[in-house]
Structure formats: C-alpha cells, structure tokens
Structure 1
Amino acid sequence: MAPVDEERTQVGVGPWPGEWPSGQQYDPELLAHGDRRNVVDRYRYWTLEAIVADLDTRRHSFHVAIENWAHDLNIGSVVRTANAFLAAEVHIVGNRRWNRRGAMVTDRYQHVRHHPTVEDLLTWAGERDLPVLGVDNLPGSVALEGYPLPRACVLLFGQESVGLSDAARDAAVDVLHIAQFGSTRSINAGAAAAIAMHAWVARHAAPGVQG
C-alpha cells in the first residue's frame, strides 16, 4: 500500500511564507498557523468578517427560501449552494432550528433569515416587491427551462418527499418544474435548488450575459 502524502491530503494552505502582507482583511492567526477553510484562493488568510463584507458588495438579487417543517437534511445543502451562487439571502420558513451539517460552515458567510410561516415570508417579500416563485413538479406547473426568471425574486422550495406546502403553492406567482426524463417521480430537493439557482445565474450573471 502506497504511503499517504499528508501535504496533498490537507485542505487549504499552511502558514504565510516570508513577510506578512499588510491590510485589515488579514487574520494574524491564519497567517501564523495556516488557513484550512473551504474558501476560494482570493479569501485565503482573510478574517470571516472581511470575507462577508466583500461578498456583501457583490451579492446577487435573487433570494432562496426553503420550508422547514421536518428538520430536512437538504437545507444545509441549499445554504451551501446559495453561498456558491452568491444569493442575497436564504430564508428558512417554519422551524427556526435547521440541520446545518450539509452547509459545511458556509452559513457563516451567507445571510440566513427566519420566517415562522409562509405568510411571514410573503409579507417580507411583498414589502420589497419580490415575486415568489415556487419550484416543484406539480400539475399545472411551468417549465423552468426557458422561463423568464426575474432578476429580483425569491425561489421557494418545499421539503424533501412532500414538496411545497399548500400555503406555499398558493403563495407563488408561478410554480416551476425541472424537466426530467427518467423513471423517478422527483429529484432531491437540494439538487433541484442547485439547478434553479444556476438557471438564474445563467440568465443574469453568467460571463457575457447582458442584464
């Protein structure tokens, strides 16, 4: 059995070599001991606060909301993907406590807001003129492919297995479905959220796209 190369299996970078860089964004502890966080290279050795502040200057105008009535394991994955696509905020609808394991600590960099009910989410979105679009493969739903996703909107997802609640379906301006071609009735809620967010990015934020 070949020996394990510990340097190659470690995540991130070690202590800063040579003279330290100047700038308030840098964390002395990370410079001294290394940065093993799952962050892109531009944020190596930066403080958490500096990273969030920089992200806040570039966040996109879409929001992601997910219902949380049964401690859905997918919520953490949705938060992680929202961070990757730089969503404005993630909204947890229902129970305040949610399973953070799948977020892989990305919730520290992503704004997360809680709403006790779908009605509370609607009030919040209405005050900001944000249309709420459900994502679920329901009868009468509209294909996500080709749908003119607004630049500013809320993408609302239900929980695994049951999908959108009745209140969420009624609240949505439109309910969108993702095209499927196999035998399964539905795809994983976390995967569906990733596809929908990428559809927004492809329309509004991909390189070369004119908004």
Structure 2
Amino acid sequence: MQVGVGPWAGPWPDDPRYDPELLALGDRRNVVDRYRYWTVEAVVADMDRRRRADRFIHVAIENWAHDLNIGSVVRTANAFNAAGVHVVGRRRWNRRGAMVTDRYLHVHHHASAEDLATWAATAGPDGTRLPVVGIDNVPGSVPIEGYPLPQRCVLLFGQESTGLTPQAQAACDVILHITQHGSTRSINAGAAAAIAMHAWAVQHA
C-alpha cells in the first residue's frame, strides 16, 4: 500500500508554499494532509507560526553512545510541534528512527549539559530563562503525574542505559519520573519521552 497522494489532479495551485516537483510526481512523505505538496521550508514556517509564543517546549537528549532512541524522540517532538530538538554530547546520531521528521524541526547541538544550560539561560522570550526539566527515575525525582509543568521549558532525557548523567542532573531545575507498576527498572527512553511530552501537552497545548 502506498502512503500519501499521487500527482496533483487539475490546475496547479498558485501558491508559493507548493513544491512543483511534489505536484508533478506526488507526495509520499510522512506528513499530515494539510501539508501535502508543500515545500519543507513552508511546513517549517507554518509550524513555527502555529506554535504559541507563551507555551512551548524544547526537547533535549543526551547522546554519548549513539543512542538509537534519539530518532524516536525526534519523531515524537515533531508530533508535538516542539520549538527545537537539542542533541547533547556527540553530534552524530542515527536518524533512521526519525523517519525524516527532523527536516521539519530546528535541530541544535550542544557539546555538554553545561552548554545546554547556558543556552537555556537566555532562550526564553526577550532573553528570559527556560527551566530545564529532567525526566529520569533517579533518587529524589518527583512523579510527573500531577506535576505543574512550566508553560515554557526544556525537557531533558538521558540515554537508554545510563539515564541522565550527573552533569545533566545538575543542569535541571527539577527531575521528574514516570511512575511504574511492574518489575522493570526503567522504560524505553523513546517511550518515556512520548509520555513526558504528552503530559506537557495535556496541561498546555
């Protein structure tokens, strides 16, 4: 089964947002219907326009061992229209799991958690600070259920195996955990990111 739509039927739209190549050949991308045939630049601009200036999230994830979950986190960040994705640590990451959704996001790199914290210090509106909210089940963490998440913040996730590094924990204003009821110590990092982003969206989106 083919995904998407075929070549445009009828007269082409007189709108600069549309991509002539996609109109001619069809649009098989993983995008919602409202963005069919649009250029990548037009999609990014519209997502930026639709995002509220007073309520938004940035998503950051540590990348010390080429974590394969980063692609999944990026894809989810796109689904929630995050203002940006920040890869902390190694610059290179496996993009397969993102399914090209990273092209529609603002992706940034920070060499360390300290660099991320420095960026967040002036990344809010008019140079204000964005709180950094860590997600990990470390001692002293607070349940995410019912926690009043900031309207504007950075959600910071650690690696699948080790979680947030001590440096990342030190950069956080608060560290929240997702309450579990089974025998496993932790849940998949990509799944945890999706739960946390949805928790923020329920409160603010």
Same fold, judged at TM 0.5 (above): yes
- Structure 2 residue aligned with 1:142: 142
> Tell me, which stretches of 5 or more residues in structure 2 are unaligned?
124-128
- Structure 2 residue aligned with 1:101: 96
The C-alpha deviation readout for 1:58-100, integer Å capped at 9, x for no partner, is 2352111100000000001100000000000011000011111
Distance 1:167 1:59 in 2: 30
- Structure 2 residue aligned with 1:202: 202
RMSD: 0.8
User: More displaced, 50-59 or 86-95?
Assistant: 50-59
The C-alpha deviation readout for 1:5-40, integer Å capped at 9, x for no partner, is xxxx00100011112122011111111111100100
Distance 2:50 2:12 in 1: 27
- Structure 2 residue aligned with 1:172: 172
Distance 1:127 1:106 in 2: 27
- Structure 1 residue aligned with 2:126: none
Deviation at 1:179, TM superposition (A): 1.0
Match of 2:121, SS state, is helix
- Structure 1 residue aligned with 2:83: 88
User: More displaced, 166-175 or 87-96?
Assistant: 166-175
Q: State the identity %.
A: 74
- Structure 2 residue aligned with 1:116: 111
- Structure 1 residue aligned with 2:24: 32
Distance 1:25 1:156 in 2: 33
Distance 1:56 1:108 in 2: 13
> Tell me, which stretches of 5 or more residues in structure 1 are unaligned?
1-8, 206-211
TM superposition score normalised by structure 1: 0.91
Distance 1:133 1:199 in 2: 12
TM superposition score normalised by structure 2: 0.94
Instruction: Kindly provide the amino acid, as one letter, of the partner of residue 73 in structure 1.
Output: L
Matches within 5 A, 1:55-70: 55-59=47-51, 61-70=56-65
